Chain A
Amino acid sequence: MDKHSSNIKRRRLMQAGGALAGIAAVGPWSLAQAQSGGRIVVGTWGGDYSKLLSKNIDTPLMVPKKYEVVHDIGGDPERRAKMRAEARLPRGTSDLQGLSAAQMFEMNDAGLCLPIDYAKIPNAQYLLPQMKYPYGVGHIYSGKVILYNPKLISTPPTSFADALNAKHGNKLGIIDIQYQFTMMAAALASGGSMTNYEPGKERLIACRKAGAKILPTNEAMAQALQNEEVGICIMWKARAVQWQKAGAKVETVAPKEGVPLYISGFVIPKNAPNKDGAHFWLNEMLEPSAQEAFAEDMGYNATVINAKIPPETEKRIGFNAEERKRLVDLDYSYLAKNDAALKEWWDKTFKG
C-alpha cells in the first residue's frame, strides 16, 4: 500500500514536473505571441486604399508592435458574400472587413458582426459621434457633391435638382455602381427623403431619355470628365479632389438639398480569429497620424477630432460651417430593406 502510495506520489510529482516543464517551454512562446500580437487579416478594397492602409497604418503603427498585417483584397460584394458564406464556421478567415456604412449596417443586420468593445479602443474617445457604431468604426468620410466642368456647364449648379436635370442631355454622367446615392440625390431633388426614394425615379427617367450617359465605374467617370464627354455628375468630394489633382477641370458644389454622407469603416466578423488584434488595429486606424495622412493622400475627412489637418487641405477636402450644417446621414435601415427593389428598378427600368 505504501509502495503503491509512494508510486502515485512519484507519478504525480513527475506529472507536475512535466507540466512545469511544459509551461516553461510554452510560456516564452505565449509571451512572445502576446507581445507579437500575431497576424491580422484585413479585408479591403484594392488599389490606392489598400496601399494607403499599408503606408499609413500597417507599416508605421502595426509592424513596430510586431503585428503581421495581411490584406484580403476584393470588391465589397465578394467580401460580403464571403462573410455570409463563412458565418457558420467557428473560425473565419478575416479579422476586419472594410465596408461602407450602409454595408456595415447590412452585415450587422444579418448577425455577422462582433459588437465593438470600445474599451479596447482608447482612440475612440476622439471619434465623431456619427462614426461610432455599435458594430463598426468609421474610418474616413466625405459627402456627395456636384461636380461640373465650367467650360461645358455655363450656369453653375447649386442643387441636385440643377445637376440631375434633363436639360444637360448627354453631358450628364451617371455612375452605375452609385445607384443608391444617385436615386437618393434624385429623390432629394424631387421632394423625396432619406426614407422615400420613389419621387426621384421620374426625374432619372427623364435624364436618361435626354441622353444621360451611364458609366460603369468611378474611374470611367473620371476619364469621361477628363475627355469632356461628361460635363456634370455627382460624386464624393474626396474623389473630386483626387480628380482635380489629376488635372480634371471640375468645380465642386455642396448641393442645397443636403450633402449625403459617405462613411467608410471597418467591422469585425463574429468569427474573426484574432479579435484582440482587430481591436488594436482599429485603435491604430484612429491614430491622428494615420488619419492626417489619409486626409492628405486620399482627400477624405478624418473621423477623429484630434487629427490636425493642415488648413489648406481642410479647405480643399472639408466642408465650411454652412455646408457642414447640410451634411445628412443615410437611413441605413431603409436602404437595407429596399436595396434589392431599388437595384431591380435601376437595372430593369432605368438602364433597361
Chain B
Amino acid sequence: MAAVVASPARTLAPGWTAAAMVAPASIVVTIGIVVPILILFRYSLNQYTPAKMMVDAVTIENYAKFFTDPFYVAILLRTIRVAALCTAICVVLAFPMAYCLARTRSRFKNLLLMVVILPLFVGNAVRAAGWMVLFGNRGFVNTLLMESGITREPLQIMYTELAVVIGIIAVNLPFVVLTLQAVLEGIDRAIEEAAQGLGAGPWRTFGHVILPLAMPGVVAGTILSFILAMNAYATPVLLGGPTFQMMGPTVYNQFAGLSNWPFGAALSFVLMTATLLLTVTSNWVAHRRYRR
C-alpha cells in the first residue's frame, strides 16, 4: 500500500512539470532563433561602408532607404502578390484532394498519402531544376507545343512570374494538402449526412458545414503556404532568373553578393515583419468570420 503512495518530496508541482517539459524546446528556440534575430536587428541599425562592410551605429537609414526607394518597395509588393496568389491556388487545389484523401476507404489510402508526401523527399532546388528542363526554350513543354504545331516559336516560360508561381505551388501544395487532410479526417461524416438529410445540396453542405468546420485547417494551410512563399529562395532564383526579383534572393544578394550586412538585415526585418503582420491579420479575419 505504502509502495504506491508517491512521496511528496519527489513530486513536482504542476507548474514545474510544465516548465520542465517546455524548457528544452524553449532553450533551443532562444539560442537558435531569438538570439540571431536580436543580433540581426542590431546589425540593421549599423552603417555600411564598402571597405569596412559594417560600422557600429544606431541609425534607421537602412529602413528609410527601403521605404523611400520604389525599387525595393516594388520587390516587397511583388513578393506579397506572388505569395498570396500561390497560397490561394494551393488552397483551392489542395481542398478537394485533401477531402478525397480524408473520405476515401480505399486500401490504397496510405499509398495515396505517400504520393502526396513524395515531392517533399526532393529538395526545392532539385525540383526547380526539373521545372527548368520542362520550361526551357528547348524544353519538354515548348518541344511538345512546337512539334504538335500549336506554336511556331518557343514560348518564354523560363524567367517569368508564371514559372515562379508554378514552381512555388508545386513546393507548397503537399504541405497544404496534408494540413487540410488532417483536419478533414476529424470531421464526422454523420454531420455531412445530417445536412444532406435536412435537404442541403452538396454546395450548401460544403459552404455551411464542411468549410466552417475545416476552417482551422484552411487557416493553418494558408499560413504555412504564405510563409513559405514569402521566403522562397531557390524557386525565384532558378525559375525567375535575373530580372524577376523577390525578397528572399534580394536579402541574400545584399549579404553575400554586396557584403552589405546592415541593409541585408533591414531587408530581413522588413520581410519578417510583413509576413508576420499579414499572417496575423488573415488569421484574425478568418477567426472573426467563422467564429460561430
Contact A348 B241, beta carbon cutoff 8 Å? no
Question: Can you list, as one digit per residue, whether each of B231-247 has a CB less than 8 Å from chain A (1) or not (0)?
Answer: 00000010001110100
Contact of A2 with B by CB under 8 A? no
Question: Can you list, as one digit per residue, whether each of B64-89 has a CB less than 8 Å from chain A (1) or not (0)?
Answer: 00000001000000000000000000
Residue of A nearest to B54 (CB): A84
Question: Can you list, as one digit per residue, whether each of A119-140 has a CB less than 8 Å from chain B (1) or not (0)?
Answer: 0000000000000000000000
The smallest beta-carbon distance between A8 and chain B, in angstroms, is 52
The smallest beta-carbon distance between A142 and chain B, in angstroms, is 22
Contact B242 A336, beta carbon cutoff 8 Å? no
Q: Which of B130-166 contact A (CB under 8 A)?
A: 136-138, 159
Contact A81 B255, beta carbon cutoff 8 Å? yes
Hey, which chain B residues are within 8 Å of A329, CB to CB? none
Residue of A nearest to B252 (CB): A77
Contact of B256 with A by CB under 8 A? yes
* Listed residue (B53, B137, B257, B260) with the most chain A CB atoms within 10 angstroms of its CB: B257
The smallest beta-carbon distance between A228 and chain B, in angstroms, is 10
Contact A347 B245, beta carbon cutoff 8 Å? yes
Q: Which of A61-81 contact B (CB under 8 A)?
A: 75, 77-78, 80-81
Contact of A352 with B by CB under 8 A? yes
Contact B242 A339, beta carbon cutoff 8 Å? no
Given A214-B242, A229-B137, A347-B245: A84 touches B256 (CB 8 Å cut-off):
no
Contact A78 B256, beta carbon cutoff 8 Å? yes
Question: Can you list, as one digit per residue, whether each of A220-234 has a CB less than 8 Å from chain B (1) or not (0)?
Answer: 000100010100000
Selected from B245, B255, B257, the residue in CB contact (under 8 A) with A343 is B257
Contact of B50 with A by CB under 8 A? yes
Q: How far is the CA of A78 from the CA of B256 in the complex (A)?
A: 6
Hey, which chain B residues are within 8 Å of A216, CB to CB? 159, 237, 241-242
Selected from A110, A229, A343, A352, the residue in CB contact (under 8 A) with B258 is A343
Given A80-B259, A227-B137: A348 touches B50 (CB 8 Å cut-off):
no
Q: How large is the interface on A (under 10, 10 to 19, 20 to 34, 35 or more residues)?
A: 20 to 34
Q: Which of B194-233 contact A (CB under 8 A)?
A: none
Selected from B53, B71, B138, B241, the residue in CB contact (under 8 A) with A227 is B138
Contact of A337 with B by CB under 8 A? yes
Contact B243 A351, beta carbon cutoff 8 Å? yes
Contact A339 B50, beta carbon cutoff 8 Å? yes
Number of interface residues of B (CB under 8 A): 22
Contact of A340 with B by CB under 8 A? yes
Contact A214 B258, beta carbon cutoff 8 Å? no
Q: Report whether over half of chain A's contact residues are helix, strand or loop; otherwise say mixed.
A: helix
Q: How far is the CA of A78 from the CA of B255 in the complex (A)?
A: 9
Q: Which of A287-329 contact B (CB under 8 A)?
A: none
Question: Can you list, as one digit per residue, whether each of B254-279 has a CB less than 8 Å from chain A (1) or not (0)?
Answer: 01111110000000000000000000
Hey, which chain B residues are within 8 Å of A176, CB to CB? 241-242
Hey, which chain B residues are within 8 Å of A336, CB to CB? 50-51
Selected from A78, A214, A337, A348, the residue in CB contact (under 8 A) with B71 is A348
The smallest beta-carbon distance between B40 and chain A, in angstroms, is 13
Hey, which chain B residues are within 8 Å of A81, CB to CB? 255-256, 259
Contact of A109 with B by CB under 8 A? yes
Q: How far is the CA of A214 from the CA of B159 in the complex (A)?
A: 10
Hey, which chain B residues are within 8 Å of A339, CB to CB? 50, 258
Given A215-B242, A348-B71: A110 touches B255 (CB 8 Å cut-off):
no
Q: How far is the CA of A80 from the CA of B50 in the complex (A)?
A: 13
Q: How far is the CA of A340 from the CA of B258 in the complex (A)?
A: 6
Q: Which of A155-178 contact B (CB under 8 A)?
A: 176
Hey, which chain B residues are within 8 Å of A110, CB to CB? 51-53
Contact B260 A340, beta carbon cutoff 8 Å? yes
Given A216-B241, A351-B243: A75 touches B256 (CB 8 Å cut-off):
yes
The smallest beta-carbon distance between A99 and chain B, in angstroms, is 13
Hey, which chain B residues are within 8 Å of A227, CB to CB? 137-138
Hey, which chain B residues are within 8 Å of A84, CB to CB? 53, 259
Q: How far is the CA of A229 from the CA of B199 in the complex (A)?
A: 61
The smallest beta-carbon distance between A183 and chain B, in angstroms, is 15
Question: Can you list, as one digit per residue, whether each of B13-50 has a CB less than 8 Å from chain A (1) or not (0)?
Answer: 00000000000000000000000000000000000101
Q: Which of A209-268 contact B (CB under 8 A)?
A: 214-216, 223, 227, 229
Given A110-B51, A110-B53: A351 touches B258 (CB 8 Å cut-off):
no
Q: Which of A46-96 contact B (CB under 8 A)?
A: 75, 77-78, 80-81, 84
Q: How far is the CA of A109 from the CA of B259 in the complex (A)?
A: 14
The smallest beta-carbon distance between A179 and chain B, in angstroms, is 9
Q: How far is the CA of A214 from the CA of B245 in the complex (A)?
A: 13
Residue of A nearest to B53 (CB): A84
Q: How far is the CA of A84 from the CA of B245 in the complex (A)?
A: 26
* Listed residue (B137, B237, B243, B260) with the most chain A CB atoms within 10 angstroms of its CB: B243
Q: How far is the CA of A337 from the CA of B260 in the complex (A)?
A: 13
Q: How far is the CA of A351 from the CA of B71 in the complex (A)?
A: 11
Contact B241 A214, beta carbon cutoff 8 Å? yes
A residues neighboring B (CB under 8 Å)? 75, 77-78, 80-81, 84, 109-110, 176, 214-216, 223, 227, 229, 336-337, 339-340, 343, 347-348, 351-352
Can you identify 29 A-B contacts, CB atoms within 8 angstroms? A77-B256, A77-B257, A78-B256, A80-B256, A80-B259, A81-B255, A84-B53, A176-B242, A214-B241, A214-B242, A216-B159, A216-B237, A216-B242, A227-B137, A336-B50, A336-B51, A337-B50, A337-B51, A339-B50, A340-B258, A343-B257, A347-B71, A347-B245, A347-B253, A348-B71, A351-B242, A351-B243, A351-B245, A352-B243
Closest 5 CB pairs of A and B: A77-B256, A176-B242, A348-B71, A214-B242, A216-B242
A77-B256, A340-B258 known; 9 other A-B pairs, CB under 8 Å? Answer: A75-B256, A77-B259, A81-B259, A216-B237, A227-B137, A343-B258, A348-B71, A351-B242, A351-B245
B residues neighboring A (CB under 8 Å)? 48, 50-53, 71, 136-138, 159, 237, 241-243, 245, 253, 255-260
